[in-house]
Amino acid sequence: MGVERIAWDALSVRTRTAVHALTGRIHSARPVEGGHHSALAVHLDTTDGPVFVKGIRADHPLASAQRREARIGESLAGVGPRVLWQLLVDGWDLVGFEFVHGRHAQYHEHSRDLNLLADTLTVLANLPLPAAEVPSAATRWAVRPEDTDLRAALQGHTLCHADFNPENILVTPDRLVLVDWGWAVRGPAWLDPALVVIRLIATGGQTPPTAQSWAMRMPAWRGVPDRVITDFAKAEARLWDDIAERRPEPWSRALADAAHAWVAHRMS
C-alpha cells in the first residue's frame, strides 16, 4: 500500500509551528527519497541540528505501523536512528528521528559493507524485544494451511528488520544504521540474514551460492535445518510473486526472480 507524498510547505502553519517548537528554528526542509509508507519524509535543517521527520495522517491504515516503528526505535541502541520526539497535531502523526549522514549500502560480492551488515545483524539478534507489539514473522510467510512446519520455524523472540532495500541501510564512517522499521517482525535470528540473500542476488548481482555463503557465516544460521531454509525461500518467492502481481514494476519483478533463483539453487 503506497502513500502519496506531500511537501513540507503543504502542511498547515499550525502543524509546522508545532514542529518548530520541538526542533528550534527551521532553516530549510528537503524531501527525502525512497520509502512508500509515509506521506511526509523530510530532512529539516534546524538550529538544534538536522532532523528526519516522517509523517502520515493519523486516520490512515498505515498510521499504526508508523507508531509501532517509533516505539521500536526507542529500543534500538544504535542499530537504528534515535527517536527524538513524536507529535500528533491537526490530524497528522509525526515522528522526529536522528538524521543519519551516510551513504546507501553496496551489495556486490566484495563490498566491505557486508561485513558491517553482518556485525549489525549480530548485535540486533541479541537485543531484547521492544515494548511495542511486533507482528510475528509467521503472519507474513506462513499463511497457507499447509505451512505448519514453517509457521513453527518462524516463531522466535528476535526483532527482525525484514526490509533490506539498500536505501534502508546507511553506512557512516563509524557504523552501519538500519532505517525504516515499518516492516519489522518478531521471529528467529536467522530470518534477517535469509532476507538479505534475496537482496544480494537482486541488487548486488551475486549468484545464489555466493549470496547464501554470506548468510551461512552468520552465527544465527548455524544449526538451522536445511529444509527450514528451503521452505522459507519458497515462501519468500510466493510473497514476491504476489507483490509483483499487485505492483508490476522492475524492482518487484527483480526480487521475485531473485527469490526463485535461490529456490532453484537450494533444490538443485
Q: Is residue 3 a part of any domain in this protein?
A: no
Q: Which range has the worst mean pLDDT, 104-108, 131-135, 201-205?
A: 131-135
Mean pLDDT value of segment 235-261: 96
147 & 87 share domain: no
Contact 154, 136 (CB under 8 A): yes
Question: Per DSSP, which regions of the chain are E strands?
Answer: 26-31, 40-46, 49-57, 83-89, 92-98, 103-104, 158-160, 169-171, 176-178, 185-187
- What whole-number distance in Å separates Cα of residue 91 and Cα of residue 87? 10
112 & 244 share domain: yes
CA nearest neighbour of 195 among 165, 174, 219: 165
- So what's the pLDDT on residue 1? 52
112 & 148 share domain: yes
Range of the domain at 140: 103-267
| Segment 42-58, tens digit of pLDDT | 999 999 899 999 999 99
Per the structure, how many domains does the chain have? 2
For 232-261, give one letter per residue: b (16+ CB within 10 A) or e. bbbbbbbbbbebbeeeeeeebbbbbbbbbb
Mean pLDDT value of segment 4-29: 92
38 & 83 share domain: yes
- What whole-number distance in Å separates Cα of residue 4 and Cα of residue 1? 10
Q: Is residue 240 a part of any domain in this protein?
A: yes
Mean pLDDT value of segment 122-139: 92
Gyration radius from the chain CA atoms:
19
CA dihedral 121, 116, 75, 39 (to 10 degrees): -100
- So what's the pLDDT on residue 36? 61
- What whole-number distance in Å separates Cα of residue 137 and Cα of residue 183? 10
Whole-prediction pTM: 0.91
Mean pLDDT value of segment 66-76: 89
Contact 235, 153 (CB under 8 A): no
110 & 209 share domain: yes
| Segment 217-239, tens digit of pLDDT | 999 998 999 999 999 999 999 99
110 & 242 share domain: yes
Considering 98, 118, 148, which residue would you say is the last residue of a domain?
98
Contact 129, 159 (CB under 8 A): yes
Question: Above 90 in pLDDT, residue 2?
Answer: no
88 & 121 share domain: no
107 & 41 share domain: no
54 & 152 share domain: no
158 & 231 share domain: yes
Mean pLDDT value of segment 130-152: 94
Q: Kindly report the CATH number assigned to the domain that includes residue 248.
A: 3.90.1200.10
Mean pLDDT (the chain) is: 93
Cell of 214: 554470506
193 & 168 share domain: yes
Per-residue CA distances from 54 to 31, 131, 253 (Å): 10, 21, 28
Q: pLDDT band at 37, cuts 50/70/90?
A: confident
Considering 77, 98, 119, which residue would you say is the last residue of a domain?
98
Considering 60, 82, 98, which residue would you say is the last residue of a domain?
98
- What whole-number distance in Å separates Cα of residue 223 and Cα of residue 148? 20
Mean pLDDT value of segment 133-144: 94
85 & 166 share domain: no
Q: Kindly report the CATH number assigned to the domain that includes residue 69.
A: 3.30.200.20
